[in-house]
């Protein structure tokens, strides 16, 4: 059996036995075919002939060629999984990738705006028309609560709890957390509910999403992107510098710069590595609220 056959067999197993996502199958298949061509140039005609030194040299050449750490890590994962699959089926005597450390991903620094830039964008949305009030509430909620764009789109009216002081957020992996709303976001939401939301909902009592488009439908991620970039452009912030996730980064970065504890910020953001689904599991509620006052728009 040739290298191409062994890679094709693994590709079939990924798609139809393990039912991995189409994107993962395509990426791993592409990586393995690239690795296969590299092996052929070294005279390797089957996986059984591949050595640990082959893999190490391949990855070193990838690094020296300037390939991103994330891509090298994915290629390493693809090679490991492929060889493990062949070993499990006794098609190769041993897995040469065993005990190899994956390449470390390069640290990607998040893009952030200055506090002044964020304030300029928010304060520029100051009209009293329904769209102005809605867009201001969207911006203040993203920045003031550190939400993911999907979390913002999914917010329901009954997710606003404790007399409007807290948000109940359902994050990744259906993990729930509670986030203080803060003064600026609270005011923006109150104004939106009092004078704008009804104009978008148009009497549809069945619509329970907090943020609604002019067509009376819940916002999509793309719709929120459009709102943010339009409002940023109005104060000279380039489109490639702003997104919902940039505002989430700003939330964390600006609080950190004002002295907030990094672990508490992780709780507020709902990061998976915290290892909890409830925000109050490890943080005292009173201290939690006091720390949130460090946010520049509290």
Shared domain for 162 and 286, answered yes or no, is: yes
Could you list the residue range(s) of the whole structural domain that residue 56 is in?
3-88
Instruction: Establish if 225 belongs to a structural domain.
Output: yes
Q: DSSP letter string over the chain?
A: --HHHHHHHHHHIIIIIS---HHHHHHHHHHHHHHHHHHHHTT--SGGG--HHHHHHHHHHHHHTT--HHHHHHHHHHHHHHHHHHHHTTSSSS-TTTTPPPPPPPP-PPP---HHHHHHHHHH----SHHHHHHHHHHHHHHHHT--HHHHHH-BGGGEETTTTEEEEE-GGG-EEEEE--HHHHHHHHHHHHHTHHHHHTT-TT--BSSB-TTS-BPPHHHHHHHHHHHHHTTT--GGG--HHHHHHHHHHHHHHTT--HHHHHHHHT-GGG--S-TTTTS-HHHHHHHHTTSTT-
Do 75 and 121 belong to one domain? no
State which of 88, 123, 150 marks the end of a domain. Answer: 88
Domain finish residue from 28, 53, 88 = 88
Q: Are residues 122 and 69 in the same domain?
A: no
Residue 103 is assigned to a structural domain of this protein: no
Q: What is the pLDDT along the chain (298 residues), one digit of tens a residue?
A: 888 999 999 999 888 887 777 888 898 999 999 999 999 999 998 999 999 999 999 988 988 888 887 788 889 889 999 999 999 989 999 888 886 665 555 445 567 888 999 999 999 999 999 999 999 999 999 999 999 999 999 999 999 999 889 999 988 767 888 999 989 999 999 999 999 999 999 989 999 999 999 999 999 999 999 999 999 999 999 998 999 989 988 888 888 778 777 778 888 887 765 432 222 223 334 444 565 676 777 6
Q: Report yes or no on 255 lying in a domain.
A: yes
pLDDT of residue 159: 95
Residues 204 and 144 in one domain: yes
Assigned domain for 101 exists: no
In a domain, 298, yes or no: no
Residue 267 belongs to some domain of the structure: yes
pTM: 0.60
Domain-located, residue 217: yes
pLDDT at position 286 is 44
Q: Are residues 129 and 251 in the same domain?
A: yes
- CATH code for the domain of 149: 1.10.443.10
Question: Which positions are annotated as active-site residues?
Answer: 148, 172, 245, 248, 271, 280
What's the structural domain count of the chain?
2
């Amino acid at each position: 059996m040739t290298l191409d056959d062994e890679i094709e067999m693994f590709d079939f197993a990924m798609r139809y036995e393990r039912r991995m996502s189409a994107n993962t199958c395509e990426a791993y298949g592409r990586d393995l075919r690239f690795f296969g061509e590299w092996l052929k140039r070294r005279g390797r005609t089957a996986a059984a002939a591949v050595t640990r030194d082959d893999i190490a040299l391949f990855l070193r050449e990838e690094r020296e060629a300037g390939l991103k750490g994330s891509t090298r890590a994915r290629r390493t994962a693809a090679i490991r999984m492929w060889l493990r699959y062949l070993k499990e089926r006794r098609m190769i005597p041993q897995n040469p990738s065993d005990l190899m450390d994956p390449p470390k991903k390069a640290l990607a620094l998040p893009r952030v705006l200055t506090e002044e830039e964020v304030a300029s964008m928010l304060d520029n949305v100051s009209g009293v028309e329904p769209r102005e009030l809605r867009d201001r509430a969207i911006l203040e909620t993203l920045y003031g609560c550190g939400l993911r764009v999907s979390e913002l789109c999914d917010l329901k009216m009954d997710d606003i709890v404790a007399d409007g002081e807290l948000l109940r957020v359902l994050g990744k992996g259906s993990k729930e957390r509670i986030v203080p709303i803060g003064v600026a976001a609270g005011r923006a939401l109150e104004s939106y509910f009092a004078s704008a939301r009804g104009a978008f909902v148009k009497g549809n009592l069945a619509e329970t999403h907090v943020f609604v488009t002019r067509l009376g439908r819940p916002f999509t991620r793309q719709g929120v992107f459009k709102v943010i970039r339009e409002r940023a452009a109005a104060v000279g912030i380039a489109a490639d510098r702003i997104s919902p996730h940039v505002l989430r980064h700003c939330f964390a970065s600006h609080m950190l710069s004002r002295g907030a504890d990094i672990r508490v910020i992780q709780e507020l953001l709902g990061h998976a590595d915290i290892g909890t689904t409830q925000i109050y599991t490890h943080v005292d509620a009173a201290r939690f609220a006091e720390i949130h006052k460090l946010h520049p728009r509290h």
